[in-house]
Amino acid sequence: MPTYRYSIIGIDPDKTAIASGRNIRVSPKQCREVCNAIQGMMLDKAIDLLEAVTEEKVWIPYRRHKKKRGHHPGMKKWAAGGHPVKASGHVLKVLRNAEANADSKGLDIDRLRVIHAVAHRGRAYKKYIQRAFGRSSPYFENTSHLEIVLEEVN
């Protein structure tokens, strides 16, 4: 099994728990917005937010690549937003994995905070779609790498 490097350095291994998901077949743009939404939250609030997004009850603000996104009156500060259901489900899986890692390390689950949540672009899977007159066109399926670090706060 390969060992992956993380984009955060200088963390205390006794007070932190990390988890990652590699080559997840979900949009990196949506993963980025979901990770920005949960950054700095306590663990239980982040889990509640992601579960509400997957049930399409809460909006995630889109702060980047938002020109042709719908603007909704339910958004407070940011006008553009959406319900990235698939991305929220995958981020929730990695977040629960980090919670389990913290539990196995003996950290207090009630005092965990998300200090690092990022999404990087993964490898692109190349596929082909059939066209007229015996031709075909390539199209790419984007993947994402997710990293989540939880830290025990006092």
Output the CA–CA distances (angstroms, integers) from residue 69 to 2, 79, 81, 121, 145, in the order listed.
38, 9, 7, 21, 24
- The CA distance from 33 to 23, in Å, is 17
**144 token code pair:** 């994402």
Residue pointed to by tokens 């937003």:
81
- 3-state class (DSSP) for residue 2: coil
Q: Quick one: how far is CA 142 from the chain centroid?
A: 14
- The CA distance from 101 to 150, in Å, is 10
- The CA distance from 97 to 24, in Å, is 15
Give 77: exposed, middle or buried? Use CB within 10 Å, 0-12, 13-18, 19+.
exposed
Tens-digit pLDDT string for the chain (154 aa)? 678 888 999 999 999 999 999 999 999 999 999 999 999 999 999 999 999 999 999 889 888 887 887 777 777 777 788 899 999 999 999 999 999 999 999 999 999 999 999 999 999 999 999 999 999 999 999 999 999 999 999 8
Is residue 151 within 8 Å of residue 115, measured between CB atoms?
A: yes
Enumerate domains of the chain plus CATH numbers: 17-152 (3.90.470.10)
Instruction: Indicate the residue type of 140.
Output: F
Task: Indicate the pTM of the whole model.
Answer: 0.89
